[in-house]
């Protein structure tokens, strides 16, 4: 988690998902306890700060412990300098293949954003808000309509290359439920929230998520091995 968070922000929902993926048999209560303990430990040890993700960037909260885990608003973590130092000390497993052979085979216009999405996807499902954020980081001076277009393009490329599948979290199901539809239909569903109702951020940030395939995970680990300090 520390290694991944040094590349940007890490949402509280992502911490919950990580706890679930490590042990799917945990009860919702147990997952909540693990999430609470982990976040509070990071804050207590000075490894991270809590804030909100806005269009203008990360805004640190003045009272991070107030309503931290009550679920009324999404919480984001950003590493402190001590946290980044700790992240740099995390060992990365070496892979058999040279990372260049996988990383350079794709000529994506949004390669930098794709790298970050794939790396994030090794420990969590990647929600639409996270993909939008990564694309916006590499497209700082373009209209929001262009960011949206590029975000949808990136999703399409990852799915077409069989690196990820699109799905959503359903209350009565365990884990991520893939959408059983064509890519064209999936993009149309996303567009209905993300483009048509963009001003309603809460409606589209989590309307869909990407789940890496085995090929996507392999590529992500090779990217990580290449970029690790």
Provide the residue-wise pLDDT of the chain in tens; the chain has 229 residues: 565 555 566 777 767 777 776 777 788 788 888 888 888 888 899 988 888 877 667 788 876 555 555 544 567 888 888 887 887 676 544 444 444 444 444 555 678 888 889 988 887 789 999 999 999 988 888 999 999 999 999 999 999 999 999 999 876 655 678 899 999 999 999 999 999 999 998 889 989 999 998 888 888 888 877 765 5
The whole model's pTM is what? 0.62
DSSP string spanning 151-218? HHHHHHHHHHTTSEEEEEE-TTSSSEEE--S-HHHHHHHHHHHHTTTTT-HHHHTTS-EEEE-HHHHH
3-class SS of residue 127: strand
87, 2 in Cβ contact below 8 A?
yes
Side by side, which strands form the sheet with 10-11? 10-11, 76-79, 48-54, 57-60
């Amino acid at each position: 988690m520390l290694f991944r968070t040094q590349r940007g922000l890490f949402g509280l929902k992502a911490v919950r998902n990580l706890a679930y993926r490590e042990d799917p048999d945990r009860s919702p209560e147990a997952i909540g306890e693990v999430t609470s303990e982990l976040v509070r430990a990071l804050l207590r040890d000075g490894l991270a700060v809590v804030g909100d993700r806005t269009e203008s960037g990360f805004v640190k909260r003045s009272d991070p412990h107030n309503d931290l885990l009550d679920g009324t608003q999404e919480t984001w973590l950003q590493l402190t300098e001590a946290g980044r130092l700790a992240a740099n000390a995390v060992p990365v497993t070496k892979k058999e293949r040279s990372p260049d052979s996988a990383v350079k085979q794709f000529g994506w216009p949004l390669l930098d954003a794709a790298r970050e999405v794939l790396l994030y996807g090794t420990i969590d499902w990647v929600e639409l808000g996270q993909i939008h954020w990564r694309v916006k980081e590499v497209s700082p001076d373009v209209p929001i309509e262009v960011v949206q277009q590029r975000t949808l393009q990136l999703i399409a490329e990852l799915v077409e290359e069989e690196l990820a599948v699109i799905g959503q979290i359903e209350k009565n199901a365990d884990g991520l439920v893939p959408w059983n539809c064509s890519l064209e239909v999936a993009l149309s569903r996303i567009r209905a929230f993300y483009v048509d109702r963009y001003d309603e951020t809460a409606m589209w940030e989590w309307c869909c998520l990407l789940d890496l395939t085995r090929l996507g995970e392999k590529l992500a680990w090779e990217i990580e091995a290449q970029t690790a300090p």
